Amino acid sequence: MSDIPADFETARAEAEELAERIERYRTTYYAEGVSLVSDAEYDVLFHRLEALEREFPELAGQDSPTQQVGAALVSAGFPPHEHAERMLSLDNVFTLDEFAEWAAKAQAAAGRPVRWLSELKIDGLAISLAYRDGVLETATTRGDGRVGENITENVDFIPAIPRRLEGEGYPSFFEVRGEVFLRSEDFEALNARQHALQAEFAAEQRARGRADDAIPTRFPEFANARNTAAGSLRQRRENKSPQALELMRERLGRLSLYLHGIGAWDNPPVSSQSEVYSLLAGWGLPVSPHARVFDSIDEVTAFIAHHGEHRHDVEHEIDGIVVKVDELALHAELGATSRAPRWAIAYKYPPEEVHTKLLDIRVAI
């Protein structure tokens, strides 16, 4: 990855080609929930583009995918909704050395002891929920970070998203951000249902005299939990047959939610993000039971190692660990780039299934 071309023109040609490929993969991924390449392959291309832009900063124009969140809105038909506060992505690191470098920089910029909130990186899709006077006002996908899809009409079918807050003391208006995902057991149950439906359909077709090899796949197996969650959330109710509506209800009913951040919220009455989670839990909002706060980087590194070894012991897919500076005042002090906050980082685990392929790509570029 260090073989950056010495001359600008060669670097520009490579950066343009990378940006074009990444753009195509992103659009398909966010708009259609389809992965044309594995996440690991995508990350390698993205990282390479970042490296070229670090060497030649004039390549990092506003249009570069490295400067953007998600992809421009290609709506499945939902109305657009502007977030009261921008939703950002996260910068990634892939080695413990890169992580230590990031933490040292954040620590130095903070200028005072930092406590590290360490969380599982849930492999789902980001959502923003706005509550007014304790009642859900909008549920919106991230979109390009400024404008997302208003999917509130689907919340009727998603019991994981609370319509009303419990308790008291919540602000009159605030936004919370989180991840919608499928627990592994729910993903398996949905696939079992697809198999059963396909078997039923095939039996019906056979009874009508159709040969086995001429029976189409009407209920295909879902490829992965993340894309299935994304596809489920962005279904429209309109023009659905009663059977399709019932399936939609079943898929949305299996979605889970953990909140992991805040958007617009004037003066939260606590000083750290971990305390925000306690407040949210008190109002009946779901937060992950796996988050921990540590005083030292060594403890964070141990947390990363532990979950790397026990990746499948939690209830959902994870693709890394998110480490955040816990103190809210430091979030404002450290700020953000156009794409990601400087007070948080995602440590991504090496991919399990495409390891060889990834290594090939790393060697190839």
Q: Which residues bind ligand NAD (CB under 6 A)?
A: 25-26, 29, 35-39, 42-43, 70, 89-90, 92, 119, 121-122, 126, 179, 260-261, 322, 346
Complex with ligand NAD: residue 37 or 361, whichever CB lies closer? 37
Name every residue whose Cβ is closer than 8 Å to that of residue 193 and which is 6 or more positions away in sequence: 247, 250
Pairing mode, strands 116-122 and 255-262: unpaired
335 sits in the region (left: phi over 0; alpha: psi -120 to 50; else beta) called left
Nearest to 136 by CA among 150, 160, 152: 152
Q: How far is the CB of 141 from ligand NAD (least distance, A)?
A: 10
28 versus 198: smaller Cβ distance to ligand NAD: 28
Q: CA-based diameter of the chain, in Å?
A: 76
Half-sphere exposure of 8 (CA within 13 A, CB side): 5
Nearest distance from C-beta of residue 92 to ligand NAD, angstroms: 6
Which lies closer to ligand NAD via its Cβ, residue 93 or residue 252?
Answer: 93
Minimum separation from the CB atom of position 30 to ligand NAD (A): 7
| Cβ-based neighbour number of residue 27 at 10 Å | 16
Least distance to ligand NAD, CB of residue 160, Å: 15
Quickly list DSSP for 53-113.
Answer: HHHSGGG--TTSGGG-SS-----SSPPEEE-SS------EE-SHHHHHHHHHHHHHHH-S-
Residue 351: CB minimum distance to ligand NAD, A: 9
Regarding beta strands 125-132 and 173-182, do their DSSP bridges make them parallel or antiparallel, or are they unpaired? antiparallel
Token pair 């532990």: residue: 306
121 carries an active-site annotation: yes
Give CA–CA dist 288/98, Å, rounded: 26
First to last CA, the chain: 7
Helix (H/G/I), strand (E/B), else coil: 149: strand
DSSP conformational letter for 30: I
Q: Any bridge partners for residue 18, and if so which? A: none
Which residues sit opposite 265 in a β-bridge?
A: none
- The two beta strands, 116-122 and 292-294, are antiparallel
Task: Identify the active-site residue in 105, 121, 324, 357.
Answer: 121
92 vs 247 by CB, closer to ligand NAD:
92
Find the residue with minimal CB distance to ligand NAD. Answer: 126
Q: Which is nearer to ligand NAD, 124 or 162 (CB)?
A: 124
Smaller CB distance to ligand NAD: residue 247 or 301? 301
92 vs 301, beta carbon nearer ligand NAD: 92
The least distance separating ligand NAD from the CB of residue 181, rounded to whole angstroms, comes to 8
Give me the active site residues, please: 121
